[in-house]
Amino acid sequence: MKQQIITKLLTGMAGLGIALGAATAYASPESDRQEFIQYYTSKYPNIKLEDYVYGALAFDADSKAQYEAIMEFPPFEAEIEAGQTLWETPFKNGKTYADCLPNGGRQIAGNYPMFDEAKGKVVTLEAALNDCRVANGEAPYKISDKNTLGKLTAYMRTLSDGMLMNIRVQSPKAMAAYEDGKKTFFSRKGQLNFACASCHVQNAGVRLRSELISPAVGHAVHWPVFRGGDNLVTLQNRYTGCFKQVRAVPPAEGSETMNNLEYFHSSLSNGLPMKASVFRK
């Protein structure tokens, strides 16, 4: 059965067509985004673009209804409150995260990841929070630590709920980072020889065992997510899981490869509203 599923997905690679062709040539981030949207809306004309913020739930009304019921009384409220405590607890110098982030940290999360021209690299929201800690004499959290940086980020993103994603690629160096992330997204890897696009472009909406595969557009608006109750998963945690599922060695979370991948991936959700700290299967 597992081999049949893999064969089906590999066969589906032939259906990428225009989307893969567009990604192999240099194009502007906006033209890439429009190419993705055109691909999905042509394949699934009955799904509205704004519904892609729900991920795979957009393809299944029953799952969407279950999601809405769960979100009435989320089982992970205590985790968000723990993140709020981390956010509001002053540093040893008496300052807080709100003191060193634009607009007090509100309505800014949709700008991340962003390319920092001074540093010459992509800076994720997690990295910005760690930079704030270091600037105030505190040790940075480990990027992969979900109990500290994960919860902190989950709460901080709720301060930007409804903000439209706004990832900017405005310089040659930023474009190089974007293209590197795009290359990772479309490059086959691992023993199964899959790319991120193998599942989340041409096989979006297809069932893998009992689960529907989500589209890449809309992905970045809702991470971190809570899976199976209060199990918090960050976007780069999920990248790590995907690498392992195709039997590839994942790059380190917070590495240039992972950050550039998140930069490209997040830009595909530009113009869609953030829905932070939600339930996903």
Residue ranges per structural domain of the chain: 2-74+172-271, 77-158
- Distance of alpha carbon 151 from alpha carbon 85, whole angstroms: 10
Active site residue: 242, 256, 271, 273, which one?
242
Q: Is 280 annotated as a binding residue?
A: no
Q: Is 265 known as a binding-site position?
A: no
Instruction: Give the architecture-level CATH label for domain 2-74+172-271.
Output: Orthogonal Bundle (1.10)
Q: Residue for token digits 């807080």?
A: 96
Q: Is 199 annotated as a binding residue?
A: yes
Q: What angle do CA 139, 142, 143 make, to 5 degrees?
A: 125
pLDDT for 26? 60
Domain 77-158 carries which CATH code? 1.10.760.10
Q: Check if 2-74+172-271 and 77-158 are the same fold.
A: yes
Tens of pLDDT along 219-275? Answer: 999 899 998 778 999 999 999 999 999 999 999 999 999 999 999 999 999 999 999
49 in Cβ contact with 41 (< 8 Å): yes
What is the per-residue pLDDT across 100-123, written as a single tens digit (0 to 9) for each? 999 999 999 999 999 999 999 999
DSSP 62-102: HHHHHHHHHHHS-TTHHHHHHHHHHHHS--TTS--HHHHSG
242 is in an annotated binding site: yes
pTM, to two decimals: 0.90
User: What's the rounded Cα separation, in Å, for the pair 179 and 156?
Assistant: 28
177-204 as b/e, with b when 16 or more CB fall inside 10 Å? bbbbbbbbbbeebbeeebbbbbbbbbbb
Quick one: tokens of 232? 């918090």
Does the annotation count 222 as an active-site position? no
d(CA 123, CA 193): 29
Q: Is 222 annotated as a binding residue?
A: no
